[in-house]
Amino acid sequence: MDKKTKIIALCGKGGVGKTSVSALMIKNLAQRKDLKVLAIDADPAVGLCTALGVQIKKTVDDIRNDLINSIKKGESQDKAATLNMLDYELFDALTEYDNIGLLAIGRPESEGCFCKVNSLLKDIIQDLAKNFDVVLIDGEAGVEQINRRVMKTVDHLIMISDTSAKGVNVASTIKHLAQDNKAVDYKSMGMILNRARDESEVSNIKENLPIQLLGWLPEDDLIREFDFQGRSFLDFPDSAGACKTVKQIIQDLQIL
Amino acid sequence: MELFGETFLDIRNYIEGKNCRSLAAAEQNNAWPLGKGRNVVLSDEMAVELGSPQMNSVSCLIWTQKPDLIRDGKINLIGPDVKDSPEKSLPFGKVVLIGVSGFDEESAYDKYKEIEAVRYSLDLKGYMIRAVSQYQREWSRISREAVQKGFSFEVLGSALREEYLKKSFVHAVEFLFVTSSGEDVGELQEITKNVGRKISALNKMLSEIDPDCDECEYNDVCDEVDELKGMRKTRDEKRMNTNG
């Protein structure tokens, strides 16, 4: 039977620890050597690449801008040849580490509407993704960016928030956009609370939470240390509480 | 129409001047397992990669309607086969020589596109291909598991030939694979440098209503190839008749 790719997207307000959680998920997934994992850094700041200690040579937006420039120069664009060229360039942009491929989306620089180019690139990313067992997208705050630039459909949409009202509100807005405005198709949705003080704080928030709580992480000195020192989260100790919690969450989601 | 007469001659001379091994494509149906659409080979599981963006690479396809120019089923290999590769990454040259029929001025480009697409549809477990016809580059990877199970240029050539022969206008297929050195691949690049430009010139001549030959980037290849010269002359005559 053909294997099915599982796609997870993480979103949430900036600064809530979304990238650290993404990096810990990748760390856990990378340990399953029988799985191929595609990590997509959809944040223009390319924070996931830094958190994994990976140097990016080229982003999807570099490829996009090259194509737009060649269109502007009037170079002829046969569709099939263009798709094959984008596929080649995209694979060249993939940074590989063991069983992980990391792709950075980057920041769009060209002004104007290039929906057709975005759409071609999205098709190629989706085709590439089918070759992997798990795809994890570390998104921007807005879920619509995932749809527009990376993937139309995801299996698990995971909101990350700290315990602030702002963070939880942003997560609720994302839920509204995804659910009511159909900003992205998804099969399940849940939230991870980050930097919670204790169980009772989580219980208080959970009472009014409009989204299923998948798990929570306390304020963690080790995460802060890894962030501060720019160490790769792939080296994060397995025995650390945050690593175990994230592993449990992905096991509960039946991704591992 | 014959666009590549000289290239065929140059390729034959190139093969004769090198230490070339001759393999035969299998006649029976290709039995290699399918990749079922999962054909990405990551470097972690890779035995060898050919023609990566960091290496010399050239790949093209040339056709002829003269059957005696093709040795059907022959695989010419210059350099080590996949399992004997001394390095994880090798330079790569590939030329597919195809015997066809019915390639006239009107249909040649569309038929070329059909056969050009064949390499992308090949679905062999443990074999990944990324190629750009505009750059005349081909980058492939073969997994360790595939090499252990016997993947070779014979397997690749046989599977490709089988796919090409499914086209009713393809009658014979021969391959040249080069893995020996960057210099050998560079030499092949030089021989085939105008293949893509001739095909682009043909496409431009067919697709543009009123091309300005003086400004055209392919003017030199149209001057060089009789068939393209003929097409240009016919087009110019038609234009003069229309303009009175």
* Residue % of chain B over a pLDDT of 90: 71
Q: Do B40 and A132 touch (CB under 8 A)?
A: yes
Q: What domains can be seen in chain B, in order of their start residue?
A: 5-193 (3.30.1650.10), 197-242 (no CATH)
Domain chopping of chain A, boundaries: 6-54+96-109+131-252
Q: Is A187 on the interface with B (CB under 8 A)?
A: no
Least confidently predicted of A142-146, A220-224, B80-84, B236-240: A142-146
Can you give the pLDDT at residue B29? 63
Can you give the pLDDT at residue B22? 97
Can you give the pLDDT at residue A109? 57
Higher pLDDT, B76 or A64: B76
CATH T-level assignment (fold) for domain A6-54+96-109+131-252: Rossmann fold (3.40.50)
Can you give the pLDDT at residue B231? 79
pLDDT of B226 higher than 70: yes
Nearest to B40 among A2, A76, A131 (CB): A131
The Cα of A40 is separated from the nearest Cα of chain B by a number of Å equal to 16
Mean pLDDT of B44-53: 97
Can you give the pLDDT at residue A112? 60
- Chain A residue closest in CA terms to B114: A80
Per-chain mean pLDDT for chain B: 92
Q: In this predicted complex, what is the ipTM?
A: 0.89
Can you give the pLDDT at residue B74? 98
Q: Is A80 on the interface with B (CB under 8 A)?
A: yes
Q: Do A2 and B117 touch (CB under 8 A)?
A: no
Low-confidence ranges of chain A (pLDDT < 50): 1
Name the pTM for this structure.
Answer: 0.90
Can you give the pLDDT at residue A1? 40
Nearest to A80 among B36, B44, B117 (CB): B117
Q: Do A85 and B132 touch (CB under 8 A)?
A: yes
The Cα of B18 is separated from the nearest Cα of chain A by a number of Å equal to 30
Quick one: B80 exposed, middle or buried, by C-beta within 10 A (0-12, 13-18, 19+)? middle
Can you give the pLDDT at residue A250? 95
Nearest to A91 among B37, B44, B130 (CB): B130
